[in-house]
C-alpha cells in the first residue's frame, strides 16, 4: 500500500512546487520589468543633470580659471561674442521669444480656422484626406523645412524687402524664421484643434442654433469656447516645438552678433541657432558655452510651459 | 463532503457591499444555479469561488470560502492551483487569437506540459467532451476566431475542461447565444455533470429549472433562498422568491 | 479658404524638392561615393591605336577621337565649374589598359563619368581641365602616347549616408525596443494602480517626449560620447553614441504607442487566461503581447519615421562629416545631417539637398501609409 501511495505523493509535491514557482515568477518578473522602466524614467534626470554639469563649467574658476565667463554678463549681455571670453545671451532670449510669439500669432488663427472648416464644413470623406495631409506635414523632418525655407521663403522675403526698399542678407532674416516656424507649428496646433473641436457635443451647438444664434455665432461663441482648453494644449505643444526647433531655424535665422533684432528684414540669432551654427571643435569654451545656451533653452521652455499651463487653467475655467 | 462551503461571506467594492453575510454550500457532481435580478450579487459570488475578484481594484472579501475544507482566502493559499481546479466559462465567448488547437492546449502548456503527444490527447479529449470535436477536427490549426458564437462558447468550455478541473463555474454562458446554440450548451452541461461540479449564473429561469439540481436566489446582495431546484420552483418558502420566479419583478 | 494652407504648403514643399532634386536622383547617386576620387594614371605601352568608329548612340554634342576610341563632352561639376567629362571609352581602346601611377602593376582603365583634370602627352604637351572637349580631342588625335593622366570621379553620391542612417536606426531600435516595450508592459500590466511612484515615473517619461531634439543632442554629447569613448576606441562622436541618443529620443514614442496597443487588447483575454490557471507572466507574454504586436509594429514605424529625419540631435551626438566608408567608432553623416552639411557650405547645394529630401520624404510617406494600414488591420481584430 505504502509503495503505491508514494509516487502519487511525489507527483503532488512536484505539482505544488510548480504552483509556488508560478507565484514567485510573477514577483520576479515584476522586479525585472521595473529595471527598464526606471531607466526610461531616469533619462529626464540624466539629461538635465549632465547638461547642467557641462553648461555650468564655463562660469567656474575651477575649470576655466581667469578665462571663465562672467555669469551675470552672460545672462544680461547683448553681444554674443567678444574675444576672448565675453558671451551675452539676453538678446538671444529676446529674439527667440519674439520670433516664437509672432509665429504663434500667425499660426493659431490659421490652425483654428482650418480645424473649424475641416470638422464643421468639410464632408466626412475629405476630412480623412485633410487629416492625412496634416499628419504628413507634421512628419516632414525639420531639415527639409530648412531647405524649403532657404529655397522658397527666403527668396520671397528678398522680393518683399525690395518692395519696402529694405536690405536682406539673401533673405536670411527674422521674418523668414517667423514664417518657417509658423508653417512648422501649424500642423501641431491644427491636429490638436481638430481633436478638440470634434469632441464638442453637437447637441450643444443645436441648442445654440435653436436659441436663434447664427451658424457663425454658434461656431465662435459655443464651439470654440468649449474647445478652448484643447486648442490651448495645441498652442502649448506648438510653442514648445517652436522654441526647441533647431535645424530649420539655424538655416534661415542668420548669425547676428548682437541685438536684439526686432526688425523683420534683419538677420537674427536664436538660442537653437547659436547652438548649431559654427559647430567645429568638440572641446573648449566655444563648445562648452553651447551647453550653457542649452541650459538656458531648457529654462525658457520650462518657464513658458509653466506660464502657458497657468493661462490654460484660466481659459478652461468654465469648460 | 461539500465542494465549497461559503461562510458569512461579505464582499465590498470600494466600500459598497455587494454580498452580505452569504452562507451556502456547493454539492459535488451537481449543477447549482445562482439566480436573481441584475446587480443582486450572483456573479460576484461566482467570481469569488476562483478568486477572479482579485483582479478588480477596490474589491474586499470578508468571511471564508472553504474548498475541500481549505479557506481559499487564506494568506498562503495558491490562487493558481485553485484556478486549475476551479475553471470558469464567461458570458462572452473569448477565444484567444490563435488556432483552435492552441486555444485548448493553452492551459496545459501554462502548466508546463509541452509533450506533443500528450497535448494532442488532452486537446482531443477536451474537444470530444465539449461536443465540438466532430465540427472542428478538420481545422484544428485554423484560427478560433472563425468559429460561430456557439462553437466559440463550446471551445471556451473545452479550454476549461482541458485543465481537468473539479469545478466549472459558468457566468451566464448562453446569454450571447441563439436558442439552438443555447440548447447545445444545455445538453452539454447535462453531460458534464457526471464528471464535474457545475455552478452556473443565469438570468433565464427556465434554464435554471431545466438544468440545475440546486438553486440559490439572490436579492440585493442577500441570499434569499437556497434549496433543491424542485423545491424552489414548486414551493418557495419566501414570498420574494415566488414573485421573482413567477416573473412579477426582475 | 484658410484651411487650404496646409494643402498648399505641402504641395509647395513637395513641388520644390521634386523640382530641384529629381534631376540628380539616379542609381549612381544612391550607390556612389560622396568624395571625388582622383585617378593618377599612365600608359606605358600603346597598341592598337586608330580605327575606332563613333558609336551611334553617342550624344551629338560630344566629341569623339577615332584614334583612341574616346568620347568627351563639356560639362560642369556640382560646384558649377566647367569640366571635360569622359562619356565613352571603346572596349578595345588602349585607354582601357592604363596603369595606376602609384602602382604600375594595377590596371585601371579610363571609364565614363571621370572628369579630365590634366593630361600630359608623350611630347609633354599638356591638356588641362579648362581646355574644351573639342580641343582635347584634337590633342588626343595628334598624339600617340600619354605620359600622365589625372582624372576625378564625380562623387556626390549618398551611399555612405544611407548606410549610416540604416546603421543608426538599426542599433537604436535594438536598444530602444526592448527597453521601451518592457517599460510599457510593466507600466500597463504589472505596475500597481494609483501608486504615486508609478505616476511620477510616467510623468517623467511623458516629459521626455517634449524634449527638443537638440537637447537630446547635447545629452548625447555630454553622456554618450564620453561613455562610448571609454568602452571603445572611439574619440569623439561615433555611430554608437548617435544610436544611443536616438534610442533615448524614440523611447517615449515606443512606450506610449505600446501602452496604447496593450490598452486595446480586450480584458476578456486576460481574464480567460487567468481563469485557466495561467499566472500573470504567462498571460502577459503568451497572450497580451502577442495580441499587441500590430500596435508595437506601428510604434516601430513611428520611431523610424522620427529617426530618419533627425538632424539636430545627430549633429551633436555623431557629427557632420560625410563619409564614404563607414567606421562605427567614427563620425559619419546620416541622410538628414547630409542635407544639413551640403547646405551649410559657402554655396548651398540645393539640387543635392533636394534629391536627398525626396528620398527621405518617400520613406516618410511610405511609413505614414504603412501605419494607416496596420491601424486598419488592427481595428478589425476583436
The total of other beta-carbon atoms located within 10 Å of residue C78's CB is 15
Q: Rounded to a whole number, what is the distance in Å from the CA of A1 to chain C's nearest CA?
A: 32
What is the pLDDT at residue A3? Answer: 41
Q: Which one of 2.40.50.100, 1.10.3720.10, 2.30.30.100, 3.40.50.300 gives the CATH number of domain A89-315?
A: 1.10.3720.10
Please state, in angstroms and rounded to a whole number, the distance separating the CA atoms of residues C130 and C83.
7
What average pLDDT score do residues A212-236 get? 86
Sign for the pseudo-dihedral over CA of C314, C320, C325, C330: negative
* The pLDDT of residue A297: 95
Which pLDDT score is estimated for B38? 85
Query: Cα–Cα distances in Å, from A275 out to A297, C184, C315?
Result: 10, 34, 10
pLDDT for res A103:
97
Q: Pairing between strand C103-107 and C63-65?
A: unpaired
Residue in C with minimal Cα distance to A275: C214
Instruction: State the DSSP code for B4.
Output: E
pLDDT of A5 strictly over 80: no
Percent of chain A at pLDDT > 70 equals 94
Q: Residue C382: is its pLDDT beyond 60?
A: no
Which of C:163-182 have CB within 8 Å of A?
A: 178-180, 182
Chain A residues inside the 8 Å CB shell of B80: 19, 22-23
Identity of the residue in A30, A133, A143 whose CB atom sits nearest the CB atom of C340: A143
Nearest by CB: A247 against C210, C279, C340: C340
Give the residue on A whose Cα is nearest the Cα of B80: A19
When pLDDT is averaged across residues C250-255 and rounded to a whole number, the result is 96
pLDDT of residue A174: 94
C-alpha cell at A252: 534661415
- What is residue A1's predicted lDDT score, i.e. its pLDDT? 38
A105 pLDDT higher than 50 = yes
| Cell, residue C268 | 476578456
Decide: C63 and C73 in contact? Cβ < 8 Å. yes
- Residue at B83 is within a domain: yes
Q: List the single residue in A16, A18, A23 with the smallest CB-CB distance to B111.
A: A18
Instruction: Identify the top-confidence range among B107-111, C179-183, C229-233.
Output: C179-183
Residue from the list B78, B111, B112 with its beta carbon closest to the beta carbon of A20: B78
Whether B246 has a pLDDT exceeding 80, the answer reads yes
Residues of C with Cβ-Cβ distance to B110 under 8 angstroms: 273, 276-279, 282, 286
Question: In this structure, what C-alpha cell is assigned to residue A225?
Answer: 469656447
Closest chain A residue by Cα to residue C179: A36
Q: What is the mean pLDDT of residues B49-67?
A: 88
Residue C264 touches partner A, C-beta closer than 8 Å: no
CA gap C5, C11 in Å, rounded: 10
Beta bridge partners of A95: none
- Residue B23: CATH number of its domain: 3.40.50.300
Element (H, E) at B104: helix B100-110
Query: CA B87, B90, B92: angle at the middle one, nearest 5?
Result: 155
pLDDT for position B159: 93
**Which chains pack against A, by 3+ Cβ pairs within 8 A?**
B, C
CB B191 within 8 A of CB B160: no
Per-residue pLDDT for C56 more than 90? Answer: no
CB spacing of B159 vs C276 below 8 angstroms: yes
Radius of gyration of chain C (CA): 29
CA distance C328 to A243: 33
Collect all residues of chain A within an 8 Å Cβ-Cβ radius of residue C348.
150
Q: How far is B84 from chain A (nearest CA, A)?
A: 10
Whole-number pLDDT of residue A226: 86
Q: Does C212 contact A301 at a Cβ distance shorter than 8 Å?
A: yes
The C-alpha atoms of residue A274 and residue A80 are separated, in whole angstroms, by: 9
Give the predicted TM-score (pTM) of the model: 0.87
Q: What is the 3-state secondary structure (H, E, C) of chain C?
A: CCCHHHHHHHHHHHHHHHHHHHHHCCHHHHHCCCCCCEEEEECCCCCCCCCCCCCCCCCCCCEEECCCCEEEEEEECCCCCEEEEEEEECCCCHHHHCEECCEEEEECCCCCCCEEEEEEECCCCEEECCCCHHHHHHHHHCCCCEEEEEEECCCCCCHHHHHHHHHHHHHHHHHHHHHHHHHHHHHHHHCCCCCHHHHHHHHHHHHHHCCCHHHHHHHHHHHHHHHHHHHCCCCCCCHHHHHHHHHHHHHHHHHHHHHHHHHHCCHHHHHHHHHCCCCHHHHHHHHHHHHCHHHHHHHHHHHHHHHHCCCHHHHHHCCCCCCCCCCCCCCCCCHHHHHHHHHHCCCCCHHHHHHHHHHHHHHHHHHHHHHHHHHHHHHHCC
The range of the structural domain enclosing residue B121 comes to: 4-245
For residue C361, how far is the Cα from the chain centroid? 12
Asked if A147 lies within 8 A of C191 by C-beta distance, the reply is no
Say which residue, A7 or C330, is predicted with more confidence. C330
The per-residue b/e assignment along B169-201, b for 16 or more CB within 10 angstroms, e otherwise, is bbbbbbebbeeebbebbbebbeebbeebbbbbb
Q: Which domains does chain C have, with CATH numbers?
A: 36-152 (2.30.42), 159-380 (1.10.3720.10)
Please name the residue ranges forming H helices in chain A: 2-56, 61-64, 71-76, 90-120, 124-139, 142-148, 154-163, 174-198, 202-210, 215-217, 224-244, 247-253, 271-276, 285-315
Nearest by CB to residue C17, choosing from A22, A43, A144, is A144
Checking DSSP bridges between strand C63-65 and strand C38-42, what pairing results, if any? unpaired
- Asked if C246 is an interface residue toward chain A (Cβ–Cβ < 8 A), one would say no
Residues 6+ away with beta carbon under 8 Å from B235: none
Give the separation between CA C136 and CA C139, rounded to whole angstroms.
Answer: 5
Query: Cα A173 to the chain's mean position, in Å?
Result: 22
Predicted confidence (pLDDT) at residue C235 exceeds the cutoff of 90: no
Helix axes C159-185, C239-264, angle to 10 degrees: 40
Give the separation between CA A275 and CA A294, rounded to whole angstroms. 7
Point out the residue among C214, C216, C281 whose CB comes nearest to the CB of A276.
C214
pLDDT at residue C345 greater than cutoff 80: no
Element (H, E) at A140: none
Minimal CA separation from C297 to chain A, in Å: 18
Q: What residues in A contact B111, CB-CB < 8 Å?
A: 18
Identify the pLDDT of residue A268: 92
- Nearest chain C residue to B110 by CA distance is C278
Cell, residue A274: 547659436
Tell me the longest C-alpha to C-alpha distance in chain B.
Answer: 57
Given an 8 Å threshold on Cβ–Cβ distance, is B78 in contact with A19? yes
What percentage of residues in chain B have a pLDDT greater than 90? 54
Cβ <8 Å between A23 and B80: yes
Residue A7 has pLDDT above 60, yes or no: no
Tell me the pLDDT tens digit for each residue of B196-216: 999 999 988 889 999 999 999
The span from the CA of C21 to the CA of A161, in Å, is 28
CA–CA separation, C157 and C39 (whole Å) = 17
Q: How confident is the model at residue C203 (pLDDT cuts 50, 70, 90)?
A: very high
What's the grid cell of residue C220?
548625447
Q: Which of A23, A33, A251 sits opposite C185 (nearest CB)?
A: A33
Whether chain A has a CB inside 8 Å of the CB on C125: the answer is no
| Cα separation, A250 vs A265, whole angstroms | 16
* A20 Cβ under 8 Å from any chain B Cβ: yes
C-alpha cell at C45: 605601352
Q: What number is the average pLDDT over the span C188-200?
A: 91
Residue written as grid cell 555650468: A56
pLDDT tens string B152-198:
999 999 999 999 999 999 999 988 889 999 999 999 999 999 999 99
Residue A316 clears pLDDT 90, i.e. is over it: no
Question: Total domain count for chain B?
Answer: 1
C172 versus B240: the higher-pLDDT residue is C172
Packing angle of the helix pair C335-344, C159-185 (nearest 10 deg): 130
Chain A positions touching C205 (Cβ under 8 A) are: 40-41, 44
CA–CA dist C97, C120 (Å, integer) = 17
Average pLDDT over residues A168-176: 89
Cα B51 to Cα B74: distance, rounded to the nearest angstrom? 12
Cross-chain residue pair C271–B80, CB shorter than 8 Å? no
- The more confident residue out of A41 and C2 is A41
Average pLDDT, stretch C38-54?
80
C interface mutation test: which of A38, A109, A247, A308 has the most C CBs within 10 A? A247
Q: Which of residues 103-132 of B touch A (CB under 8 A)?
A: 111-112
Q: What integer is the mean pLDDT of A189-195? A: 93
At residue A4 the predicted structure's pLDDT band, cuts being 50, 70 and 90, is very low
Q: Give yes or no for residue C44 having a pLDDT over 70.
A: yes
Chain A residues lying within 8 Å of C357, measured CB to CB: 143-144, 147
In percent, the amount of chain C with pLDDT more than 70 equals 97
**Average of per-residue pLDDT values in chain C:** 88
Q: Is A56 helix (H, G, I), strand (E, B) or coil?
A: helix
Mean pLDDT within A52-69: 88
Q: What are phi and psi of A31, to 5 degrees?
A: -65, -40
Collect all residues of chain C within an 8 Å Cβ-Cβ radius of residue A252.
Answer: none
For residue B52, list chain C residues with Cβ-Cβ distance below 8 A.
Answer: 271, 274-275
* pLDDT of C79: 64
Of C194, C271, C277, the CB nearest to B90: C271
More confident residue, C172 or B174: C172
For residue A90 the three cell numbers come to 539676453
Residue B75, pLDDT score: 82
Q: How far apart are alpha carbons C281 and A25 in whole angstroms?
A: 7
User: Which candidate in C269, C276, C288 is best for mutational testing of the B interface (most B CBs within 10 A)?
Assistant: C276
Asked if residue B250 belongs to a domain, the reply is no
Mean pLDDT of chain B: 90
For residue B96, the chain C residue with the least C-alpha distance is: C269
Q: C264 vs B89, C289, C293, CA distance in Å? A: 22, 11, 11
Q: What span, in angstroms and rounded, lies between the C-alpha atoms of C289 and C283?
A: 9
Question: What ipTM was reported for this prediction?
Answer: 0.90
Overall average pLDDT of the A238-256 stretch: 93
Mean pLDDT over A42-51 rounds to 93
Whether chain A has a CB inside 8 Å of the CB on B70: the answer is no
What's the grid cell of residue A172?
536670411
The per-residue pLDDT of chain A, averaged, comes to 88
Asked, as a colleague might, if the bond just before A260 is cis with ω within 30 of 0, I would say: yes
Residue in this structure with the C-alpha cell 542635407, named with its chain if needed? C339
Amino acid at each position: 500500500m505504502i509503495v503505491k501511495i508514494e509516487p502519487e505523493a511525489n507527483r503532488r509535491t512536484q505539482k505544488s512546487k510548480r504552483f509556488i514557482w508560478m507565484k514567485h515568477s510573477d514577483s520576479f518578473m515584476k522586479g525585472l520589468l521595473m529595471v527598464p522602466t526606471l531607466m526610461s524614467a531616469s533619462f529626464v534626470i540624466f539629461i538635465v543633470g549632465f547638461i547642467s554639469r557641462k553648461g555650468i563649467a564655463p562660469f567656474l574658476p575651477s575649470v576655466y580659471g581667469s578665462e571663465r565667463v562672467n555669469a551675470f554678463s552672460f545672462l544680461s549681455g547683448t553681444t554674443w561674442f567678444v574675444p576672448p571670453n565675453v558671451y551675452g545671451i539676453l538678446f538671444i532670449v529676446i529674439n527667440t521669444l519674439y520670433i516664437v510669439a509672432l509665429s504663434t500669432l500667425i499660426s493659431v488663427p490659421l490652425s483654428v480656422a482650418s480645424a473649424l472648416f475641416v470638422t464643421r464644413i468639410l464632408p466626412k470623406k475629405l476630412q480623412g484626406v485633410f487629416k492625412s495631409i496634416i499628419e504628413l506635414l507634421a512628419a516632414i523632418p525639420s531639415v527639409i523645412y530648412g531647405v524649403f525655407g532657404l529655397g522658397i521663403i527666403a527668396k520671397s522675403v528678398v522680393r518683399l524687402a525690395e518692395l519696402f526698399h529694405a536690405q536682406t542678407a539673401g533673405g536670411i532674416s527674422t521674418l523668414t524664421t517667423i514664417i518657417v516656424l509658423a508653417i512648422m507649428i501649424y500642423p501641431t496646433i491644427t491636429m490638436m484643434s481638430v481633436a478638440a473641436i470634434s469632441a464638442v457635443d453637437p447637441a450643444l451647438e443645436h441648442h445654440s442654433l435653436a436659441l436663434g444664434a447664427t451658424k457663425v455665432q454658434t461656431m465662435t461663441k459655443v464651439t470654440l469656447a468649449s474647445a478652448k482648453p484643447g486648442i490651448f494644449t495645441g498652442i502649448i505643444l506648438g510653442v514648445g516645438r517652436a522654441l526647441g526647433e533647431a535645424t530649420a531655424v539655424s538655416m534661415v535665422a542668420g548669425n547676428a552678433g548682437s541685438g536684439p533684432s526686432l526688425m523683420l528684414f534683419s538677420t537674427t540669432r536664436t538660442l537653437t541657432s547659436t547652438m548649431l551654427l559654427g559647430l567645429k571643435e568638440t572641446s573648449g569654451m566655444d563648445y562648452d558655452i553651447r551647453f550653457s545656451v542649452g541650459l538656458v533653452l531648457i529654462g525658457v521652455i520650462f518657464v513658458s510651459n509653466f506660464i502657458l499651463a497657468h493661462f490654460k487653467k484660466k481659459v478652461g475655467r468654465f469648460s | 463532503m461539500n465542494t465549497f462551503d461559503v461562510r458569512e461571506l461579505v464582499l465590498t467594492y470600494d466600500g459598497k457591499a455587494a454580498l452580505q453575510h452569504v452562507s451556502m454550500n456547493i454539492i459535488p457532481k451537481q449543477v447549482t444555479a445562482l439566480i436573481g435580478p441584475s446587480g443582486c450579487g450572483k456573479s460576484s459570488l461566482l467570481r469569488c469561488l476562483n478568486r477572479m475578484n482579485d483582479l478588480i481594484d477596490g474589491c474586499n472579501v470578508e468571511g471564508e470560502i472553504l474548498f475541500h475544507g481549505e479557506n481559499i482566502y487564506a494568506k498562503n493559499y495558491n490562487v493558481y492551483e485553485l484556478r486549475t481546479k476551479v475553471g470558469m466559462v464567461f458570458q462572452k465567448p473569448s477565444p484567444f487569437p490563435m488556432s483552435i488547437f492552441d486555444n485548448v492546449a493553452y492551459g496545459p502548456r501554462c502548466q508546463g506540459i509541452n509533450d506533443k503527444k500528450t497535448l494532442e490527447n488532452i486537446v482531443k479529449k477536451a474537444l470530444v467532451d465539449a461536443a465540438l470535436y466532430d465540427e472542428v477536427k478538420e481545422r484544428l490549426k485554423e484560427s478560433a476566431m472563425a468559429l460561430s458564437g456557439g462553437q466559440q462558447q463550446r471551445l471556451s468550455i473545452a479550454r476549461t475542461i482541458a485543465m481537468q478541473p473539479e469545478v466549472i463555474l459558468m457566468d451566464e454562458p448562453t446569454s450571447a447565444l441563439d436558442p439552438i446554440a443555447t440548447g447545445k450548451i444545455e445538453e452539454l452541461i447535462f453531460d458534464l455533470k457526471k464528471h464535474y461540479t457545475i455552478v452556473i449564473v443565469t438570468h433565464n429561469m427556465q434554464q435554471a429549472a431545466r438544468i440545475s439540481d440546486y438553486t440559490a436566489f439572490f436579492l440585493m446582495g442577500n441570499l434569499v433562498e437556497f434549496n433543491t431546484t424542485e423545491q424552489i420552483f414548486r414551493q418557495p418558502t419566501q414570498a420574494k422568491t415566488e414573485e421573482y420566479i413567477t416573473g412579477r419583478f426582475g | 479658404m484658410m484651411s487650404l494652407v496646409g494643402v498648399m504648403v505641402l504641395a509647395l514643399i513637395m513641388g520644390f524638392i521634386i523640382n530641384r532634386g529629381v534631376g540628380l536622383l539616379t542609381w549612381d547617386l544612391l550607390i556612389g561615393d560622396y568624395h571625388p576620387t582622383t585617378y593618377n594614371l599612365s600608359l606605358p605601352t600603346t597598341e592598337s591605336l586608330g580605327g575606332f568608329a563613333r558609336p551611334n548612340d553617342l550624344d551629338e554634342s560630344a566629341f569623339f577621337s577615332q584614334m583612341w576610341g574616346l568620347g568627351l563632352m563639356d560639362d560642369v561639376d556640382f560646384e558649377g565649374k566647367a569640366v571635360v567629362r569622359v562619356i565613352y571609352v571603346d572596349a578595345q581602346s588602349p585607354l582601357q589598359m592604363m596603369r595606376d601611377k602609384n602602382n604600375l602593376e594595377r590596371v585601371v582603365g579610363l571609364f565614363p563619368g571621370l572628369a579630365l583634370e590634366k593630361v600630359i602627352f608623350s611630347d609633354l604637351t599638356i591638356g588641362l581641365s579648362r581646355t574644351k572637349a573639342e580641343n582635347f580631342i584634337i590633342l588626343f588625335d595628334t598624339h600617340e602616347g600619354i605620359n600622365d593622366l589625372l582624372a576625378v570621379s564625380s562623387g556626390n553620391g549618398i551611399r555612405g549616408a544611407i548606410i549610416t542612417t540604416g546603421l543608426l536606426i538599426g542599433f537604436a531600435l535594438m536598444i530602444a525596443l526592448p527597453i521601451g516595450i518592457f517599460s510599457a508592459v510593466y507600466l500597463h500590466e504589472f505596475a500597481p494602480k494609483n501608486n504615486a511612484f508609478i505616476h511620477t515615473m510616467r510623468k517623467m517619461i511623458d516629459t521626455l517626449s517634449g524634449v527638443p531634439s537638440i537637447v537630446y543632442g547635447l545629452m548625447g554629447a555630454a553622456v554618450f560620447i564620453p561613455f562610448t569613448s571609454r568602452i571603445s576606441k572611439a574619440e569623439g562622436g561615433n555611430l554608437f553614441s548617435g544610436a544611443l541618443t536616438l534610442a533615448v529620443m524614440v523611447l517615449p514614442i515606443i512606450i506610449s504607442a505600446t501602452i496604447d496597443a496593450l490598452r486595446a487588447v480586450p480584458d476578456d483575454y486576460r481574464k480567460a487566461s487567468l481563469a485557466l490557471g495561467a499566472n500573470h507572466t504567462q498571460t502577459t507574454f503568451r497572450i497580451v503581447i502577442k495580441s499587441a504586436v500590430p500596435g508595437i509594429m506601428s510604434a516601430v514605424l513611428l520611431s523610424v519615421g522620427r529617426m530618419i529625419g533627425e538632424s539636430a540631435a545627430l549633429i551633436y551626438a555623431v557629427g557632420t562629416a560625410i563619409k564614404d566608408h563607414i567606421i562605427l567608432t567614427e563620425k559619419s553623416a546620416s541622410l538628414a545631417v547630409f542635407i544639413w552639411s551640403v547646405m551649410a557650405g559657402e554655396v548651398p547645394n540645393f539640387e543635392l539637398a533636394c534629391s536627398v529630401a525626396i528620398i527621405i520624404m518617400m520613406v516618410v510617406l511610405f511609413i505614414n501609409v504603412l501605419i494607416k494600414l496596420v491601424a486598419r488591420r488592427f481595428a478589425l481584430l476583436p
